[in-house]
Amino acid sequence: MTTPRQTQNRAKFWNARVAEAQSDQERAGVWYDACRTLARQAERDGKPNLWPALTKTLHDFYKNHGG
């Protein structure tokens, strides 16, 4: 289970990385990394159901943008 403090620390970490990004391409990479990290943490916490949701979101993005 994630504590409010852990959530706050995670937000500070990812927001700092987004702020450092120089382009939309870099920001997209940061958010992709953040989502994968979140899914891995959920899996470690016994909740692997984020992977299918992430997969569906990425697949939908791909399909909706010409893929």
The answer to whether the beta carbons of residues 30 and 17 sit under 8 Å apart is yes
pTM: 0.85
Q: Is the pLDDT of residue 17 over 90?
A: yes
Q: Is the pLDDT of residue 1 over 80?
A: no
Got the DSSP string for 18-50?
A: HHH--SHHHHHHHHHHHHHHHHHHHHHTT-TTH
Q: Give residue-wise pLDDT tens across range 18-67.
A: 999 999 999 999 999 999 999 999 999 999 899 999 999 999 999 999 98
